[in-house]
Structure 1
Amino acid sequence: MELPITVPGPDLSVSATTYVAFRQCPASAVARLQGIYGPESRASFKGTLAHRVFARHLEEGPIDASDVADVCRQEIGKGLNAKLNSVGLKPPELRLVIQEVGALYERFRTFSAVGFRSSEVYIDVDAGTGVTLRGRIDAVFESDDGGTRLIDWKTGQLGDADDQLAFYALAWTARTGDVPSLIEALSVQTGERTAQVPSERTVRRTAEDVGGLVDTVRTLFAAQELGERRAGPWCRWCPILSDCLEGSAATDLYDRG
């Protein structure tokens, strides 16, 4: 699947995170595409660890409650040590994170695994004109109609997942040639759920939006500009927050409640 792109420029890798960031604040997305990232956080580390535990459950079967802490440490050892070091958690803080992941897992194990196909499916697909679509699908299930059901696990509040789900539908279609029957975001913490039923029309619309992103970013790159800044709750995780008056004002406001 090729995107409707009209502006030539450097190769770009567009992920769900980049797409969502662009829809929220173009300047933040441009910064990410320039290799400027925000610091690692406790919440992101916990979320990544929880996702590893969820995937292990789906692939190998339920984990006994007495073994969850050991499984967490195994998963950290397999590939999360660098992330752990970046966050700088001390041993007592890490133990608390592992306890919190264990509590999330107790909720997760109540979810049905009927129709499970695969977990943590990485997508890296050439979309033409120097653009690569990248992402990770947390879990793939068979849908009731025999098609494909994609799930994105959330370890915190559900939030607004519409743009993220739309991007995953596009990326999956570009990778497989098939539009998924259903795509969901599910908060393990709260039980909240939101879903989309993609169609060829909605996938094309998202492709047009991603094409517009690429055109805008390449134009901004050529002009050596970051683009429009839009303040909101997402500013807290922005890689250019320290240099953004709008974002700093927004985070101060949200911190005061």
Structure 2
Amino acid sequence: MRLGRVTYKGKTYFAAFQEQNAILLEKPFFEGIFLSSQKLPIEEVKILSPTLPSKIIALGLNYRDHAKELGLPLPKEPLIFLKPPSAVIGQDETIIIPPESKRVDYEAELAVVIGKRARRVKPEEASSFILGYTCFNDVTARDLQQKDAQWTRAKSFDTFAPMGPWIETDLDPTDLKVRSYLNGKLRQDSSTRELVFSIPEIISFVSNIMTLLPGDVIATGTPPGIGPLSPGDVIEVEISGIGRLKNTVSQEKL
């Protein structure tokens, strides 16, 4: 099932997507799937980011082919960092390049959406804490990342966490195609087979550090082929079984 959030006539709703329709839900999907009788054509609603996480945990260097591209050894344990909820945008929203950076990059990623409170989860139990999966773009100010001793500034600007268009709940994440397209041209093309740490391992590792709450997002790393964005670009993240996350790019003017 595909789950998300939409606005319709100025109000925000949780929804399930079936074919070309959005079926409004009676309550948030974290409390169970209760379909209402209101079915709307997708073109009549605005699709929002599928969740508003309390936190976004992301991984660096979690694709073997990306580590090979960079000439770096594989990490011994997951390399994690945080992105703030204020960076979240959804489908068809605009990534804003801040004046503080001279190079802002796209990074296509598979993201896990947590479905219930998770603390010190064992890998073999991890699947029961997953609501589903969505597309994610770990937008990064590359020059600031290289300049700073840690990555917070480079990863945290407003609009630097596009996700969507929805959460797919029925998906095997072990062999999914992860691709990005810049202005219609293929830039990244890999598979989750290349993940260094599996999703159950990641959830276990993170939940032993911090409590994961319903709606929290874990972005699982990017494959090779990352590159810069420019004003006027259209960047798309495509993951098999989920769909495409599409965003435009603009320059912030102070």
Q: Report the TM-score, using the length of structure 2 for normalisation.
A: 0.25
Structure with the higher fraction of residues in strand conformation: 2
**Greater helix content:** 1
Which protein is bigger by CA-based radius of gyration?
Answer: 1
Q: TM-score, normalization: structure 1?
A: 0.25
